[in-house]
Amino acid sequence: MKIVDLSKPIQFNRSDPWFMKVRIKYKAHKKASLLLRFLGLPKRLFPKGFNGWADDTIKHMGVHATTHIDAPWHYSPTVNGERAKTVDEIPLDWCYGDGLVIDMRHKEDFDAITVKDIQDFLKKECLSIKEGMIVLINTGRDIYNGTKDFPDKGTGMSADATEWLIDQGIKVMGIDSWGWDLPLRYMINKAKETNNSELFWEAHVLGQRKEYCHMEQLVNLGSLPYEGFKVAVFPLKIVGASAAPARVVAIFE
């Protein structure tokens, strides 16, 4: 069996924008040694070669700061009038299934991915979408991961293309860009320029009426074939959260 990691490292990166920065406090082995002595175990009774245990604390990390899966609750408190699922309520059977890569590396920055783009790719490569698949959108923008340009570059999914995937029976989908939609600052500026509220966050907003989850900030999609593998994307079980970091992997039997 071969496993390909599709998740970015969780670490401090100076180039990340303030809202994405991760801060981890690493505690050396000797800290635990002091704790054990405080709890009453004399150092002479420590096992041979034992100096205590290493321990670490995540001091700051937003649930959307690294490779993660967004729950329906992220998009809206309700889906079609029903309470939206938080990340701990996502059914686990959504999170494991046959993988399918859709290659959209040819798309220019700020040019949204359309239904026709996806259908043309599937036809050209003789691929088909089956209910329950986990669909991965390869834009190639993971090359910017860890740089200050990452949130502001790339293509993204249109609402129509997202809805089309949902209608094919896809509950979980993912992308290697910073976000699922076009870059956030671009959408803000475009909405202001045109005075059109429909242009902002259109694929996310679709979640108000159609239930689905998407992953953001995937990596290594270019190393995968278009099909022939499983995807596992189990999120941390954070009660009530809108998203959670996930160790996303492709599995080849």
Average pLDDT over residues 191-204: 88
Q: Element (H or E) spanning 73, and its range? A: helix 72-75
Helix and strand numbers, DSSP H then E, in the chain: 6, 13
Per-residue pLDDT band at 35 (split at 50, 70, 90): low
Q: What is the pLDDT of residue 95?
A: 98
How high is the mean pLDDT of the chain?
A: 93
Residue 42 in domain: yes
**Same domain assignment for residues 109 and 229:** yes
What residue numbers bound the domain in which 194 lies?
Answer: 68-252
Kindly report, residue by residue over 222-233, the tens digit of the pLDDT: 999 999 999 999
- Tens-digit pLDDT profile for residues 41-50: 777 777 887 7
DSSP-assigned letters across all residues of 180-206: SSS-HHHHHHHHHHHT-GGGSSHHHHG
pLDDT, one tens digit per residue, over 106-135 is 999 999 999 999 999 999 999 999 999 999
Using CA atoms, how far apart are residues 53 and 35, in angstroms rounded to an integer? 10
Inside any domain, residue 6:
no
Answer for the pair 83, 240: CB distance below 8 angstroms, yes or no.
no
Residue 50 lies in a domain: yes
d(CA 190, CA 185): 9
Contact 137, 113 (CB under 8 A): yes
* Domain match, 81 and 50 both: no
How confident is the model at residue 31, as a pLDDT?
Answer: 77
**Percent of the chain residues past pLDDT 90, beyond the cut:** 81
Indicate the pTM of the whole model: 0.93
Domain count, the chain: 2
Task: Report which of 3, 4, 21 is spatially closest to residue 12, judged by C-alpha positions.
Answer: 21
The reply to whether 7 falls in a domain is no
Query: Do 44 and 134 belong together in one domain?
Result: no
